[in-house]
């Protein structure tokens, strides 16, 4: 019945594979093809220009500027997000006071906190961006952050936030962290739940405190989840399109201070009508992202702890 089995499998897989091929693989291949042309996106004709687009990209200050900002975010956002995620997850699951019958518990009200942390994940990124844009409104009366600072007497900290060149990128990064921490809290909580309680019990009997249990037990046993989270957070930091496009001043400003690669790609394609050049950017992004993912996977690998 081997024959029948394959026919059966093919019958089920054919349609999804065709859809995948047409809508996923062929655009990939065509992006490579288009990146070698000067196609404007407006008319049906395009000329083959070889690697000119890539040469132009290599010499483009704008693109390097955008890439640099992505790299800054890549260096900071995953560390902060995962760090906070781990901390909160630990506090919610293990960090509480010892109770009578349980060896390890979360802080009081941990269920409620879990729900609250996860909340930003449920809201569309567009809405998150619009909400935060208004929080950052520089008006001392209408802007939430500035009026809050004014009320508590910290007027000196009032700022124009997204309008200030030196901190605009970090204002946006903060929103990125805020939006994703909850997801990792839930993720790490689930992973922690699978760590056998008796390990903690043994450690506590030996007199380990919270600090020790976290670094000696929880973190090593969670390493797989952390590593995966790192890759995904890195990809998110290399994107950042929606937040920057909606929140930033003058589309990636002030004066290019928040520009990121996907935004560059977007304006090149849809404002400047240079789809060929934009496709070359897409490919450059692909290379950067792949490199990051491979490096992370390679260097973050550790011996797996069996339990």
Partner 1 sequence: MGSTSAHNNEGLGRRNLIKRSAALGLITVPTMGFLSACATGGGTEEKPAAKETGTVSAKNPLGVKNGVALEAFIFKGGLGDQYAKDAEADYKTTYQAEVKHTGTQEVGPKLTPRFAGGTPPDVIDNSGANHLDMNKLSSQGQLQDLGVLLDAASLDDPNKKVRDVIHPSTLEKGKHGDKFDVLYYAFTIYGTWYSQKLLEDKGWAYPKTLDEMVKLCGDIKKEGIAPWTYAGKYPYYVHFNLFAQIAKIGGMPAWVEIDNLEPNAWTKNDAVKEVIEHYEELAAKKYFLEGSEGLTHIQSQTSWTKNKAVFIPNGSWVENEAAPTTPKDFGMSVGALLDGTGDKLPSGTLRGEPSEPYIVSAKGKNPLGGMELLRIMLSKKHAQNFATKVKSLTCVVDATEGMTLSPGLASASAAVKAAGDNLISLQLQEWYPALTDEKIGGLTGQLLTGDLKASEWIKKTQAEADKVAQDSSVTKFKRAG
Give the interface with partner 1 as residue ranges (CB under 8 A): 23-24, 26-28, 30-31, 34, 38-39, 41-44, 46, 136-140, 142-143, 146, 160-165, 187, 190-191, 193-194, 221, 224-225, 228-229, 232, 235-236, 239, 249-256, 262, 265-267, 269, 271-272, 274-275, 277-279, 282, 304-305, 307
Cβ nearer to partner 1, comparing 84 with 263: 263
Cβ nearer to partner 1, comparing 39 with 214: 39
Cβ nearer to partner 1, comparing 1 with 24: 24
Cβ nearer to partner 1, comparing 214 with 230: 230
Both ends of the chain: CA-CA distance in Å? Answer: 40
In angstroms, give the least distance from the CB of 211 to partner 1: 23
Cβ nearer to partner 1, comparing 124 with 209: 124
In angstroms, give the least distance from the CB of 290 to partner 1: 12
Cβ nearer to partner 1, comparing 165 with 212: 165
Cβ nearer to partner 1, comparing 83 with 254: 254
In angstroms, give the least distance from the CB of 302 to partner 1: 12
In angstroms, give the least distance from the CB of 6 to partner 1: 26
Are residues 279 and 51 in contact, defined by beta-carbon separation less than 8 angstroms? no
CA distance 96 to 112: 14
In angstroms, give the least distance from the CB of 207 to partner 1: 27
Q: Following DSSP, what letter does each residue of the chain receive, concatenated? A: -HHHHHHHHHHHHHHHHHHHIIIIIHHHHHHHHHTTB---SSSS---B-TTHHHHHHHH-HHHHHHHHHHHHHHHHHHHHHHHHHHHHHHHHHTBSPP-SS-SSB--TTHHHHHHHHHHHHHS-HHHHHHHHHHHT---TTT-HHHHHHHHTT-GGG---GGG-TTTHHHHHHHHHHHHHHHHHHHHHHHHHHTS-HHHHHHHHHTT--HHHIIIIIIHHHTHHHHHHHHHHHHHHHTT-HHHHHHHSBTTTBSTTTT--HHHHHHHHHHTS--HHHHHHHHHHHHHHHHHHHHHHHHHS--PPPP-
In angstroms, give the least distance from the CB of 116 to partner 1: 20
In angstroms, give the least distance from the CB of 28 to partner 1: 7
């Amino acid at each position: 019945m081997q024959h029948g089995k394959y026919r059966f499998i093919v019958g089920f897989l054919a349609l999804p594979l065709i859809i995948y091929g047409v809508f996923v693989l062929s655009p990939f291949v065509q992006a490579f093809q288009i990146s070698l042309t000067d196609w404007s996106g407006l008319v049906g004709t395009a000329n083959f220009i070889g690697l000119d687009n890539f040469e132009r990209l290599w010499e483009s200050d704008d693109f390097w500027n955008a890439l640099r900002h992505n790299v800054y975010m890549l260096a900071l956002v995953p560390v902060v997000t995962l760090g906070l995620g781990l901390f909160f997850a630990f506090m919610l699951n293990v960090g509480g006071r010892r109770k009578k019958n349980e060896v390890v518990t979360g802080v009081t009200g941990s269920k409620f906190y879990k729900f609250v942390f996860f909340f930003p994940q449920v809201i569309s990124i567009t809405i998150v961006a619009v909400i935060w844009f208004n929080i950052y409104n520089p008006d001392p009366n209408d802007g939430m952050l500035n009026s809050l600072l004014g009320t508590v007497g910290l007027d000196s900290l009032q700022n124009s936030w997204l309008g200030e060149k030196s901190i605009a990128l970090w204002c946006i990064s903060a929103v990125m962290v805020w939006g994703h921490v909850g997801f990792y809290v839930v993720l790490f909580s689930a992973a922690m739940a699978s760590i056998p309680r008796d390990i903690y019990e043994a450690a506590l009997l030996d007199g380990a405190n919270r600090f020790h249990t976290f670094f000696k037990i929880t973190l090593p046993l969670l390493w797989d989840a952390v590593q995966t989270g790192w890759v995904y957070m890195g990809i998110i930091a290399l994107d950042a399109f929606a937040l920057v496009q909606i929140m930033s001043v003058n589309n990636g400003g002030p004066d290019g201070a928040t520009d990121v690669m996907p935004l560059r790609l977007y304006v090149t394609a849809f404002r400047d009508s240079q789809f060929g050049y934009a496709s070359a950017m897409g490919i450059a992004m692909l290379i950067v992202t792949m490199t990051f993912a491979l490096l992370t996977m390679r260097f973050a690998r550790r011996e797996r702890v069996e339990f």
